[in-house]
Amino acid sequence: MLPWHLLSATSLNFFLPISRKNTSSMNFIVLLTLFSLNSLIETCVRTIPPEEVYITSTEPSTDKPGEVTNAPVTNAPVTDAPVTDAPTNPCTICMVTPPTSNPAGTDFTSVEQGTAGKCKETLVTCKRTDDLTCNKVSIQTSTGVLIDAADTKEASALLLCQNDGTYSFGTITNIGQLSCVYEECASCTSCDISKLTLPMPVAGANFLNLDSTTADGCKQTSVTCERTDSQRCGTVAVVGSNGPIMGNLASTVDGNTVTVSLTCQADGTYSSGPLNNINQLDCLYETCAVPNLCAECDINAIAPANLPTGAIFNPTDIPDGNCKLTDTSCARNDGKICAQIITTADTLIGQGSIYHYNTNTAHAYLFCGENGLYDIGDPSATVKSITSENQKFSVISYRIGVRDSVTAETFTVCTGHTTSERSSTDRKNEKKKKTTKINFSIGWSSNGRKDGERQRKVGVQRARRQNV
């Protein structure tokens, strides 16, 4: 494109041909035209874009300066300025200092409690992990004992963080290093009877103990107080004590022995009934003396055994003042009659025999002595056994032993004949048959103590005749 001054000249020559005749008028016209064209050209030049302008996909903004046409952006501007944190509350930064070590079978734990928005709280616990129970478990620090618990396996304390950044518990503040203390720990298997104060030795008496295990695995100890002589006591008792309290654990009346069981508790101490923490035992013997046992003899201790069919042993106790005597009845219960029943007693000093003829029952009396043993009328003649000799048609045989010499010979039953059924031949053979020799060094009554001597004399005479 031509510059505007060239364009103006060219246009002038085109529209207005120059005439040489009117030069002044023409010059005026030319000047006026130039001024008009110049204004027009300047206006057009403003609206023509520069040659270096390119079309893009984004239209230029036509907004006026400072005018906001879009919604404000909500995202915060990203800057490189440093971020400043909110100040930390000191009562949330406390730290627990645990024990430096734990004894075997123990543990220490600390658990922060849910305290959002509040000062920090932490539960600390000292506890045993074995089966021991302690007399005392405590949590301690350098400034004091936080807590102690008795007869238990563990102790706990809830610590509160303070504004100075240290823990407190109750009146104890500035808590630092913690420690767990376990005192006098034991289990139900650790009791030891020898650690108790035991009864002093007593002449003619004894103290016994025997350990065992209960169903739940705990120790149990059986203790016995007994007399080892022949005395009997109005009362025999086992007495226990735990210091301030004393109690009768077990007792017997008119005897010579008593036994009670002690159970080991979780704290390693014995208990019995309502009395716990037993630390002392004693045996109590009251009103003891050698007893008169003349009413306590036991015939069943020397009764014959394995009796055959048709024969019975039928003893009967008979009062004799404060004592007793016993009818040792030997009989048949099948109706048969025996020609002869000979009963012999073996005693410490000899033998005594009683004869019964043509009968199905033989009676012989034993006397209960002061020593609680049977005799046959003489206190020195303690019965060791009773026997009967075997004789044709007639023999019921017994052997009765005393408490220290019990034997068991059986009945030799009578024959199937009754007295009336015996033939004359049987009678002749019976008369010819020699009886076994019997020692009648002492008397034995079939009717009572007064007849003892008579029985002895009659027996001796009969034995002599039969042995001729």
Which residue from 317, 328, 244, 256 is spatially nearest to 280, judged by alpha carbons?
244
The domains of the chain are located at: 90-184, 193-289, 299-466
134 vs 307 pLDDT, higher one = 134
* 90-184 is a CATH 2.60.120 domain: no
- Whole-model pTM: value is 0.41
pLDDT at 283 over 90: yes
6-15, 394-403, 418-427: which has the minimum mean pLDDT? 394-403
Mean pLDDT of 434-439: 34
User: How far apart, in Å, are the Cα atoms of 400 and each of 176, 261, 302, 323, 391?
Assistant: 87, 39, 5, 21, 19
pLDDT at 406 over 60: no
pLDDT at 165 over 80: yes
> Order of strands across the sheet with 275-278?
205-213, 219-227, 257-264, 270-272, 275-278
Mean pLDDT of 353-377: 85
pLDDT recorded at residue 299: 86
The overall average pLDDT reported for the chain is 73
Q: In whole angstroms, what is the distance from residue 148 CA to residue 184 CA?
A: 13
Confidence of residue 412 (pLDDT cuts 50, 70, 90): very low
Confidence of residue 307 (pLDDT cuts 50, 70, 90): low
Mean pLDDT of 207-215: 94
Mean pLDDT of 114-137: 88
Mean pLDDT of 313-322: 89
Q: Longest C-alpha distance within the chain, in Å? A: 228
- Report the half-sphere exposure of 104 (CA within 13 A, side-chain side): 0
Mean pLDDT of 200-208: 94
145-159, 225-239, 289-303, 379-393: which has the minimum mean pLDDT? 379-393
pLDDT recorded at residue 345: 72
pLDDT recorded at residue 415: 41
pLDDT at 76 over 80: no
Mean pLDDT of 432-452: 42
Confidence of residue 29 (pLDDT cuts 50, 70, 90): low
* Count of Cβ atoms closer than 10 Å to residue 338 Cβ: 27
Are 202 and 224 a contacting pair, CB within 8 Å?
no
Q: b vs e for 398-417, b when ≥16 Cβ sit within 10 Å of the residue's Cβ? A: bbbbbeeebbebebbbbeee
Token pair belonging to 417: 């004949």
Mean pLDDT of 275-304: 90
pLDDT at 315 over 80: yes
7-21, 117-131, 265-279: which has the minimum mean pLDDT? 7-21
pLDDT recorded at residue 191: 93
Mean pLDDT of 335-361: 79
User: How far apart, in Å, are the Cα atoms of 414 and each of 42, 362, 391, 457?
Assistant: 177, 13, 9, 27
Q: Which of 20-29, 277-286, 308-317, 332-341 has the highest mean pLDDT?
A: 277-286
440 vs 353 pLDDT, higher one = 353
List CB contacts of 50: < 8 A, sequence separation 6 or more.
Answer: none
pLDDT at 49 over 70: no
pLDDT recorded at residue 75: 58
| Residue range 193-289, CATH number | 2.60.40
pLDDT at 392 over 60: no
pLDDT at 442 over 50: no
Residue 143 zone, left/alpha/beta (φ > 0; ψ -120 to 50; rest)? alpha
Q: In whole angstroms, what is the distance from residue 107 CA to residue 153 CA?
A: 11
Q: In whole angstroms, what is the distance from residue 4 CA to residue 125 CA?
A: 103
User: How far apart, in Å, are the Cα atoms of 458 and each of 352, 355, 442, 446, 464?
Assistant: 11, 10, 11, 12, 10
70 vs 66 pLDDT, higher one = 70
pLDDT at 33 over 50: yes
132-141, 155-164, 186-195, 309-318: which has the minimum mean pLDDT? 309-318
Burial class (CB in 10 A: 0-12, 13-18, 19+), 95: exposed
Token pair belonging to 352: 């005594």
Q: Do the domains 90-184 and 193-289 sit in the same CATH topology, yes or no?
A: yes
pLDDT recorded at residue 361: 86
User: How far apart, in Å, are the Cα atoms of 41 and each of 2, 6, 37?
Assistant: 12, 12, 6
* Count of Cβ atoms closer than 10 Å to residue 158 Cβ: 15
Q: Which of 25-34, 88-97, 372-381 has the highest mean pLDDT?
A: 88-97
Percent of the chain having pLDDT more than 70? 60
53 vs 75 pLDDT, higher one = 75
Percent of the chain having pLDDT more than 90? 35
